[in-house]
Structure 1
């Protein structure tokens, strides 16, 4: 998995400070918090240094590289201490600045539960675009029910309309999802947080030549901003405004929960795309709490990177 880094600006080290550090190192002493008594003499001796020494001092302003993936891991991994046995994967993108971070969580892939419904709708819109038509009234009704109400029958019908699991896989290849495998039992589609970030980019992006056209993108965004009140949890906890889709699914074999949330949030005037996948929650409520904490932590990491 690629590492995502940004550079943070740091103030340049003054020439005097650089010399004092060099002088202290030569005598076996190190400066902490204050200048030694002889600092003026050291500064005076440097004031007559030749111009050839200036490039070295300029190099001292080199900006350090910050590993955002590591920063995200440091912020998110401790949250698992509150949820024994759970696994968590998080991905976040600053839409304006382009900074991005991914935390894999140690699992290759997660079951989507109902977040796959955004993927199904994207595949349906791609098919309609290919056929040079708008969605039918029935398709629009089912799409609204599938996203806003998380209606399962509508998802099943629309998955069939795009060609089943094979059709969804084909759409995902066009959209750039490389680690998502569709399942006919759509809630068992396997994905990663990084792939969900790619899907969100396809929905919330602005590229004129994107696979999903501008009208299609606006349609999906509109539905995601109107989910029913009892489904407005998840990544929404990380911002003041949002457009999202959540998924939740108890596993009959273990009694544990998959709880996922993907979407766009606006925080402090900046827009972020966020995907959080949680597997193995003891209850739906504990899964929601973990997902919301992870979403907030992820956005804070990119805020700090600004």
Structure 2
């Protein structure tokens, strides 16, 4: 009796071990297949562009971040995408509470990308020092704050860290703060409907655009996409040295369009 029970127990352990190995193998295979498909689709766009361009995407299905860039060590000026960091930092600083005036400014800053509103909230955050503290709080080690907030620098992969705190789970932002940022990013004005929004009708985004010196047009788009099948992902796309705003937008639109079917 005891020997029979012992044998059954051993068989169960063996079966369980085999199932664990198969699950791990499936996870690695799925990650590799997704990575290969994304890289193949992205690189046709990234490496045929005359501009500097980089993309990062996080999939909660694989718990992985995928990246591509034709300038791997390059840090991009954030332009208006930094406004999400400013709002997140201010919510953390003020324990999730904004005054009615600050709420009005935040709505203008995110939905209309209003710069005057941003200047006031940037000051409330503590300027450059407060913004750098925000980057540090969210583990954004490749992001550097500037006294001119739009000239702060970052990488797409760093932005994914912030976006994941907003759209998935966070030990830094409260659930109310996360939902508040999401709501604003889901209601941007129509002149911002490019970049991430090119791939889906279900998105939350903040775009950035700036004509600046040798970098010509800086065109960026960050946010969250929910696919038709119910999957989702966070995505950050940055570019500079675009000849025009329109050409920069089109590169990001192309990247967004090839990403969604793979992660759907």
Q: TM-score, normalised by structure 1?
A: 0.72
Cα distance change of structure 1 residues 108 and 67 upon mapping to structure 2, 3 Å threshold:
farther
Counterpart of 1:222 in structure 2 is 183
Report the count of equivalent residues: 237
Pair 1:284 & 2:250 matched: no
List gaps (5 residues or longer) in structure 2.
1-21
Runs of 4+ displaced beyond 6 Å: none
Partner SS state of residue 245, structure 1: strand
Determine if the alignment matches structure 1 residue 258 to structure 2 residue 218.
yes
1: CA distance between counterparts of 2:122 and 2:147?
Answer: 8
User: Contact (CA 8 Å) 1:92, 1:100: kept in 2 or not?
Assistant: yes
**Number of the residue aligned with 2:233:** 272
Q: 1:260 to 1:286 in 2, by over 3 A?
A: same
Is the alpha carbon distance of 1:67 and 1:249 closer, same or farther for their aligned partners in structure 2, counting shifts above 3 Å?
Answer: same
- Post-superposition CA distance 1:150-196 (Å, at most 9, x none): 00011111111111111111122111211100111111110000011
Cα deviations by residue, 1:197-222 (Å, 9 ceiling, x for unpaired): 11101111234xx2000111111000
Contact 2:239 2:248 in 1 (8 A): yes
CA RMSD of aligned residues (A): 2.2
Separation of aligned partners in 1, 2:227 and 2:62: 14
Quote the residue 2:119 is aligned against.
156
Which of 198, 211, 214 does residue 172 from structure 2 map onto? 211
Q: Taking structure 2 as the reference length, what is the TM-score of the superposition?
A: 0.83
Q: 1:126 aligns with which of 89, 92, 100?
A: 92
Query: Which runs of no fewer than 5 residues in structure 1 stay unpaired?
Result: 1-58
| d(CA) in 2 for partners of 1:68, 1:190 | 29
Q: Which has the higher helix share?
A: 2
Supply the distance in 1 between the matched residues of 2:224 and 2:46 (Cα, whole angstroms): 24
